[in-house]
Chain A
Amino acid sequence: DVKVTQSSRYLVKRTGEKVFLECVQDMDHENMFWYRQDPGLGLRLIYFSYDVKMKEKGDIPEGYSVSREKKERFSLILESASTNQTSMYLCASSSTNQPQHFGDGTRLSIL
């Protein structure tokens, strides 16, 4: 079975902090994705990566950056956290043209 592991289920940070959310997959997938999930808005794509060191902006990249130095790991970075970034963050991975597999999510609160 595919395993997508997000480093934290719950995280509390303060405004202005630099925040790192980590995601690791164990199936050698080329593609990795970061979404945020908000009530009434569904899942919105922040960034995705289709190869090591390759990234592409999603629909809502403002205030975020990503890093993919190794194939199995995809990090989401909040450069200077703000309260409007309080949300559930979901990581996913896939092989090309195959369904995405999701992690358990990280519920991030910015105080």
Chain B
Amino acid sequence: AQTVTQSQPEMSVQEAETVTLSCTYDTSENNYYLFWYKQPPSRQMILVIRQEAYKQQNATENRFSVNFQKAAKSFSLKISDSQLGDTAMYFCAFRAYNTDKLIFGTGTRLQVFP
């Protein structure tokens, strides 16, 4: 069975600084997808970024980038130039290639301070 672990329940960062959220996973699959979702306070969960395991290049979306280490089964999210609007719960998620089901980590609550 696959598992996703987020070892940082809470993190904080000052506005304009860079922060990295950690995620590790366990799977015997070779083909899969990894995701970071953002859930702002009292707002809808939205997709931040996704990575396909067969792609060696790390995914990037504007200020958000990942460090995908397949051998180490690590998938961290880096947020550059942090903004107050980045304050949210961040969930790491795994999906095997042959299913549409997601497996989520327990989440990291990120607070961005002015």
Q: Which residue of A lies closest to B107 (CB)?
A: A42
Q: How many A-B residue pairs have CB under 8 A?
A: 44
Residues of B near A58 (CB, < 8 A) are 101
A45 to B44, CA, bound (A): 17
Which listed residue, B9, B46, B91, B100, touches A43 by the CB 8 Å rule?
Answer: B91
The prevalent SS among residues of A at the interface is strand
Which listed residue, B44, B47, B104, touches A99 by the CB 8 Å rule?
Answer: B47
State whether B101 touches A104 (Cβ < 8 A). Answer: no
Instruction: Give the bracket for the number of chain A residues in contact with chain B.
Output: 20 to 34
CB distance from B12 to the nearest CB of A (A): 18
For the complex, is A84 an interface residue (Cβ under 8 Å from B)? no
State whether A104 touches B44 (Cβ < 8 A). Answer: yes
A43 to B106, CA, bound (A): 7
Instruction: Give the bracket for the number of chain B residues in contact with chain A.
Output: 10 to 19
Residues of B near A33 (CB, < 8 A) are 101-102
Residues of A near B44 (CB, < 8 A) are 102-105
For the complex, is A64 an interface residue (Cβ under 8 Å from B)? no
CB distance from B89 to the nearest CB of A (A): 9
Contact mask for chain A residues 72-111; partner B; CB cutoff 8 A; 1 contact, 0 none: 0000000000000000001010101101111111000000
Q: Which residue of A lies closest to B43 (CB)?
A: A104
With contacts A31-B100, A40-B106, A45-B102 taken as known, whether A99 is within 8 angstroms of B35 at the C-beta atoms is yes
State whether B100 touches A40 (Cβ < 8 A). Answer: no
For the complex, is A41 an interface residue (Cβ under 8 Å from B)? yes
Q: Which residue of A lies closest to B1 (CB)?
A: A59
Interface residues of B in 80-114 (CB under 8 A from A): 91, 100-102, 104-107
State whether A42 touches B91 (Cβ < 8 A). Answer: yes
With contacts A42-B91, A43-B91 taken as known, whether A102 is within 8 angstroms of B45 at the C-beta atoms is yes
Contact mask for chain B residues 18-53; partner A; CB cutoff 8 A; 1 contact, 0 none: 000000000000000001010000011111001000
Chain A positions within 8 Å of B, measured between CB atoms, are: 31, 33, 35, 40-45, 48, 50, 58, 90, 92, 94, 96-97, 99-105
